[in-house]
Amino acid sequence: MSDKLAYRIDLTGPSADRFDEILTPAAVEFVAKLDNEFAGRRRELLDERRLRREKLASGEEKLGFLPETAHIRNDESWQVAPAAPGLEDRRVEITGPTDRKMTVNALNSGAKVWLADFEDANSPTWHNMIDGQLNLYDAIRRDIDFTGENGKRYTIGDEPATIVARPRGWHLVEKHIRIDGRPVSASLVDFGLFFFHNARQLLARGRGPYFYLPKLENHREARLWNDVFRFAQRELGLPQGAIRATVLIETITAAFEMDEILYELREHAAGLNAGRWDYIFSVIKNFSEHGADFVLPDRAQVTMTVPFMRSYTELLVRTCHKRGAHAIGGMAAFIPSRDPEINANALEKVRQDKEREAGDGFDGSWVAHPGLVPVCREVFDQVLGGWPNQLGKLREDVVVTAEDLLDVASAGGEVTEEGLRANINVGLRYLDSWLRGTGAAGISNLMEDAATAEIARCQVWQWIRNGTKLADGTAITTELAYEMLREELGRIHAELGAGNRLDDARDIFVETALGEKLPAFFTTSAYARYLTS
Ligand SMILES: CC(=O)SCCNC(=O)CCNC(=O)[C@H](O)C(C)(C)COP(=O)(O)OP(=O)(O)OC[C@H]1O[C@@H](n2cnc3c(N)ncnc32)[C@H](O)[C@@H]1OP(=O)(O)O
Ligand SMILES: O=CC(=O)O
Ligand SMILES: [Mg+2]
């Protein structure tokens, strides 16, 4: 596509209306420059991830706080950059996909921040990725105005939420953009296109290019992001430090490196978020073969108040506030319902979750649905009083050891037939939805997304591998799981009717939950097989 460059760029995704406004030669070359500069380091870090996972699985490595970075943890003097405009008060953050309707609804939801999601809530089809960029492009320029199929008019109101984009994680690639035949890092595509088109606009409008960084496993991955930011700012002639990034602490390995992650990103860091669903997934994945003490009960029983989860969130608040960074709470999976009883229960469950977080010192939290903005706001209004955050609440009382973070057995609970069936049912339904291009779905009154689906399939694998027994003494075996899979498929088929992708969903589930090996992510192989043209 370009004669001037030393490398060949190929765009292989199908074109659609206005995609050329995002995929301009200059924007694509910017992504190619990022790739040229950082692809090698990304590859090395992914290799390190794989090796470390093998060492953790075999017991060769035991997780702990790193001795070689103790000086960073013990140094009281450093702080992260001050909160940037639009990020001082983050009491309510709504998350969600970037389709046009949800973009407007999220911006108008009354939340302070909108996490515009290219990650857990997204099925990374080419259309979703570029259409999402287009919607953000228009939203930032306040140029969205349309009428829905039902006649409802959508336009952005006077006080839209601050946009924080979440690019895909380091493990994913974008196969529709190839450099010298090689697919490009999905993180660099999502970050690069958003930054190239919008950074200047956002700064001119009194905001900035803000990001959530998902699924980091250690501080060297944070250093890579920081270097990407420095490079990108230099390329566009923007001041260093214009970007702000909030890092999701959603892997068990990153929980041991919160200080170090903030330190690496300190000129750009805005805070940490307790990404509880991927965190649970990471715990299951990394300790999947560590025996009964590491087997978690039914997902519904792994609440945020079980000791090992509470230790993680308490340490997160303490670490953030020591460094002047915001601590943002996680996602309660309950969503509003038209059924008044289920709805009241969902609101109460969300209220309790937000009360715990607000009481523990978090500065704000996530909601999955506009109908949950008021309850989250109410709870945080009460603890914040007239203040925009609780950065002054240092939580010096919190002492969390490595043993506390690793005390998975503290979850207690049991594995039930209902829990096993639910994992299979939700796994299949979610995969069907993801294959059809929708990455977040309401299933049985809960929000499900890529992270919760990873839990569903990993739990089944772990329970089989450990011969875990159901409450009635029946051992969970591959045969039992297959039997339930057939039963659940029958049920779901009847409900979903024609046009479903259940056959493919079944294949993905079998491969990632019932196979001999536990794949690191379902998204990597499923993307390559089903979402690329
Ligand atoms: C593990 C994690 O990473 S958590 C973060 C990632 N996950 C998410 O972000 C999930 C976000 N939430 C969602 O996608 C949705 O709320 C769902 C799929 C769970 C439910 O969506 P729906 O079935 O459409 O809900 P419902 O019918 O009640 O929606 C009512 C209205 O609210 C809108 N809405 C619902 N959720 C959102 C949202 N998160 N952002 C913006 N608008 C939303 C709908 O578009 C709909 O709008 P309309 O009245 O103009 O048609
Ligand atoms: O991204 C959030 C999570 O809980 O996972
Ligand atoms: Mg996540």
Query: Which structural domain range is residue 490 located in?
Result: 414-530
Mean pLDDT of 305-317: 98
The encoded tokens of residue 22 equal 């995002």
Q: Is the pLDDT at 2 greater than 70, yes or no?
A: no
Q: Is 330 in the pocket of ligand 2 (CB under 6 A)?
A: yes
| DSSP element (H, E) containing 210 | strand 210-213
In the block, which residue shows the tokens 């206005």? 18
- Is 3 part of any domain? no
First to last CA, the chain: 19
pLDDT digits (tens, 9 = 90+) for 425-446: 999 999 999 999 999 999 999 9
In terms of domains, do 118 and 226 share one?
Answer: yes
DSSP bridge partners of 249: 274
Note if 220 is an active site residue.
Answer: no
Q: Are residues 36 and 88 in the same domain?
A: yes
The response to whether residue 331 sits with its C-beta less than 6 Å from ligand 2 reads yes
Q: Which two tokens stand for residue 287?
A: 């300790």
Q: Are residues 329 and 245 in the same domain?
A: yes
pLDDT at residue number 471: 87
Q: Is 250 in the pocket of ligand 2 (CB under 6 A)?
A: yes
- Cβ(431)–Cβ(525) under 8 Å? no
**CA 159 from centroid of its chain's CA atoms:** 26
Kindly state if the Cβ of 447 falls inside 6 Å of ligand 2: no
Do 106 and 158 share a domain, yes or no? Answer: yes
CB atoms within 10 A of CB 207: 20
Q: How many CB atoms lie within 10 A of CB 220?
A: 16
Closest CA to 330 of 306, 307, 308, 358: 358
Boundary residue ending a domain (383, 404, 425): 404
Helix, coil or strand: residue 64:
coil
* C-alpha span between 36 and 39 (Å, rounded): 6
The phi and psi torsions of 489 (rounded to 5 degrees) equal: -60, -45
CA 278 to ligand 1: nearest atom: 1
Mean pLDDT calculated for residue range 21-35: 97
Ligand that comes closest to the CA of residue 216: 3
Q: What is the pLDDT of residues 387-421, one digit of tens each?
A: 999 999 999 999 999 999 999 999 999 999 999 99
pLDDT of residue 1: 47
| Ligand with the closest atom to the CA of 368 | 1
pLDDT of residue 5: 66
Q: What is the average per-residue pLDDT within 441-470? A: 98
In a domain, 4, yes or no: no
Are residues 390 and 427 located together in one domain of the fold? no
| Residue percentage of the chain with pLDDT more than 70 | 99
Q: Is residue 238 a contact partner of residue 203, using CB atoms and an 8 Å limit? A: yes
Whether the predicted pLDDT of 3 surpasses 60:
no
Please name which ligand lies nearest the alpha carbon of 147: 1
Distance CA 4, CA 483 (A): 59
pLDDT tens column, 127-167? 999 999 999 999 999 999 999 999 999 999 999 999 999 99
Residue from 91, 166, 178, 506 carrying the catalytic annotation: 166
Same domain, 43 and 123: yes
Under DSSP, is residue 102 helix (H, G, I), strand (E, B) or coil?
Answer: helix
pLDDT digits (tens, 9 = 90+) for 463-497: 999 999 998 999 999 999 999 999 999 999 989 98
Nearest ligand for residue 95 CA = 1
**What average pLDDT does the segment 298-305 reach?**
97
Same domain, 112 and 260: yes
- How far lies 13's CA from each of 119, 183, 329, in Å? 19, 12, 36
Cα–Cα distances in angstroms (integers) from residue 295 to residues 481, 485, 510, in the given order? 17, 21, 20
Q: Is residue 356 assigned to a domain?
A: yes
Mutating to test ligand 2, I would choose from 279, 303, 430 the residue with most ligand atoms within 8 A of its C-beta, which is 279
245-268 burial, b for 16+ CB within 10 Å, e for fewer?
bbbbbbbbbbbbbbbbbbbbbbeb
Nearest CA to ligand 1 atom 20: 442
The ligand that comes nearest to the alpha carbon of residue 277 is 2
CA distance linking residue 389 with residue 524, whole number of Å:
38
Residue with the smallest CA separation from ligand 2 atom 1 is 275
Query: Which numbered ligand comes closest to the C-alpha of 274?
Result: 2
Contact residues of ligand 1, CB 6 A cut-off:
94-97, 101-102, 105-106, 117, 120-121, 152, 277, 331, 335-336, 368-370, 440-442, 447, 449, 451
* pLDDT score for 4: 61
Task: Please tell me whether residues 365 and 429 are part of one structural domain.
Answer: no
Residue 109: CATH number of its domain? 3.20.20.360
Residue 2 lies in a domain: no
Q: Report how far residue 219's alpha carbon sits from residue 70's, in angstroms, rounded to the nearest whole number.
A: 13
**Which protein residue has the closest C-alpha to ligand 2 atom 3?**
275
For ligand 2, the distance from its centroid to the CA atom of residue 36, given in whole angstroms, is 30
Say yes or no: CB of residue 120 within 6 Å of ligand 2: yes
Hunting for tokens 């103790």 — which residue is that? 70
The predicted-structure confidence for 349-364, as pLDDT tens digits, reads as follows 999 999 999 999 999 9
Axis-axis angle for helices 417-435, 450-465 (nearest 10): 140
The residue to which tokens 């997304």 are assigned: 449
User: Does 400 map to a domain?
Assistant: yes
Ligand 1 center to 450 CA (angstroms): 15
Residue 117 in this model has a pLDDT that exceeds 50: yes
CA 312 to centroid of ligand 2, rounded, Å: 14
Amino acid code (one letter) for 149 = E
| Residue 442 to residues 334, 429, 480, Cα–Cα distance (Å) | 9, 10, 27
Residue 397 shares a structural domain with residue 421: no
Residue 123 Cα to ligand 2 middle (Å): 15
Instruction: With respect to residue 327, please indicate whether it lies within any of the assigned structural domains.
Output: yes
Indicate which CATH number applies to the domain containing 507.
1.20.1220.12
Residue 217 CA to ligand 3 centre (angstroms): 12
Report yes or no on 84 lying in a domain. Answer: yes
How confident is the prediction for the chain on average, in pLDDT?
Answer: 97
Give distance in angstroms: CA of 177 to centre of ligand 3.
Answer: 24
The DSSP code for 149 is T
pTM of the shown model:
0.98
Among 369, 404, 439, the domain boundary falls at 404
The token duo for 390 is 């609780």
**Structural domains of the chain, count:** 2
Examine the domain organization and report whether 495 and 517 are in the same domain.
yes
Q: Is 3 a catalytic residue?
A: no
Are 382 and 460 part of one and the same domain? no
Q: Is the minimum distance from the CB of 448 to ligand 2 under 6 angstroms?
A: no
Asked whether 276 lines ligand 2 (CB < 6 A), one says yes
| 174 and 245 inside one domain | yes
* Annotated catalytic residue, options 244, 449, 457, 501: 449
Check pocket membership of 248 for ligand 2, CB cut-off 6 A: yes
Ligand 1 pocket test target in 102, 128, 146, 353 with most atoms within 8 Å of CB: 102
How far apart are the C-alpha atoms of 292 and 273, rounded to whole Å?
A: 29
Cα 246 to middle of ligand 2, angstroms:
13
What is the greatest pairwise CA distance in the chain? 69
Please report the DSSP string for 296-357 in residue order: ---GGG--TTSHHHHHHHHHHHHHHHHTT-EEE-----B---SSHHHHHHHHHHHHHHHHHH
- The reply to whether ligand 2 has any atom less than 6 angstroms from the CB of 93 is no
Assign 3-class secondary structure to 441-501: EEECCEEECHHHHHHHHHHHHHHHHCCCECCCCCECCHHHHHHHHHHHHHHHHHHHCCCCC
The alpha carbon of 285 and the centre of ligand 1 are apart by a number of angstroms equal to: 28
Distance CA 486, CA 293 (A): 30
Complete DSSP assignment for 366-403: EESSGGGHHHHHHHHHHHHTT-S--TT---TT----HH
Task: Tell me if 1 is assigned to some domain.
Answer: no
Q: Assign residue 52 a region: left if phi > 0, alpha if psi is -120 to 50, beta otherwise?
A: alpha
Q: Region 180-203: what's the mean pLDDT?
A: 98
Q: Which atom of ligand 1 is nearest to the CA of 439?
A: 14
Distance 3 CA to ligand 3 centre (A): 40
Q: Which of 119, 279, 447 is the best mutation target for the ligand 1 pocket, counting ligand atoms within 8 Å of the beta carbon and taking the most?
A: 447
What's the 179 CA to ligand 1 centre distance in angstroms?
A: 35
